[in-house]
Chains A and B, each alone.
Chain A
Amino acid sequence: DVKVTQSSRYLVKRTGEKVFLECVQDMDHENMFWYRQDPGLGLRLIYFSYDVKMKEKGDIPEGYSVSREKKERFSLILESASTNQTSMYLCASSPRLAPLVLEFFGPGTRLTVL
């Protein structure tokens, strides 16, 4: 019954490292999203993608990039990790006909940058 998976539940990295967070969905959804969740700030959209090789900036894209080479996979990249990127990262997907009904979230990756 697996729908959206993320490569790691917990990750610890050092400042300046390049970090890859992977998200895979098995529902053939066109739309995929990356959020981060911080106490007192709620979920904030980093990037989203409506199709393979397409990407759009969300509300807080600075310090992040994304890659979508295959429909089922959406990767979030921290080019040079910083301590203020310590957060819970959540991936989500949705179908083309209901792009904004975010029903399926991955389990999350809790990233700590030391």
Chain B
Amino acid sequence: QKEVEQNSGPLSVPEGAIASLNCTYSDRGSQSFFWYRQYSGKSPELIMFIYSNGDKEDGRFTAQLNKASQYVSLLIRDSQPSDSATYLCAPLARATNKLIFGTGTLLAVQP
């Protein structure tokens, strides 16, 4: 089992829809979770991080965390073509105190 699992996609959504990006992780001790956006050929950009169970909202982005299910998600409301990118999930491994990056989900927002 991979430490961090993300569906590679592509996840295709129409403009204006809600995009839901999911991530599961194996380290039950992970406490902090980070979401990055990476455009093709560019470096990752930090979008959000979440520590507590529940939802955290920042503009059009909402991160959701369920530690019992070892599941974290990122919702993008009112998706725009400019949101088309790969989204990386990165839990912080408790034992090593290092970020473990998933391989990412490619999101394609269709105009």
Contacts and interface: CB of A to CB of B under 8 A. Distances in A.
Range for the number of chain B residues in contact with chain A: 10 to 19
A10 to B, nearest CB: 11
B31 to A, nearest CB: 11
Given A45-B98, A90-B43, A107-B42, A102 B103 contact: no
User: Which of A40, A43, A90, A106 gathers most chain B CB within 10 Å?
Assistant: A43
Contacts of B46: 101-103
B16 interface: no
Contacts of B49: 101
Interface residues of A, number: 17
Interface string A97-114: 000111101111000000
A90 B88 CA distance: 15
Nearest to B104: A42
A58 to B, nearest CB: 7
Interface string B44-73: 111001000000000000000000000000
A66 to B, nearest CB: 16
A41 interface: yes
Nearest to A35: B101
Interface string B22-51: 000000000010100000001111100100
Name which of A42, A45, A58 has the most chain B CB atoms within 10 A of its CB.
Answer: A42
Contacts of B43: 90, 105-108
Contacts of A107: 42-43
Interface of B: 4, 32, 34, 42-46, 49, 88, 90, 92, 97-99, 101-104
30 contacts: A40-B103, A41-B103, A42-B102, A42-B103, A42-B104, A43-B44, A43-B88, A43-B90, A43-B101, A45-B98, A45-B99, A58-B98, A59-B98, A90-B43, A90-B44, A100-B32, A100-B92, A100-B97, A100-B98, A101-B34, A101-B49, A102-B34, A102-B44, A102-B46, A103-B46, A105-B44, A105-B45, A107-B42, A107-B43, A108-B43
Interface of A: 40-45, 58-59, 90, 100-103, 105-108
Given A103-B46, A105-B43, A105-B45, 15 more contacts: A40-B103, A42-B102, A42-B104, A45-B98, A90-B43, A90-B44, A100-B32, A100-B92, A100-B97, A100-B99, A102-B99, A105-B44, A106-B43, A107-B42, A108-B43
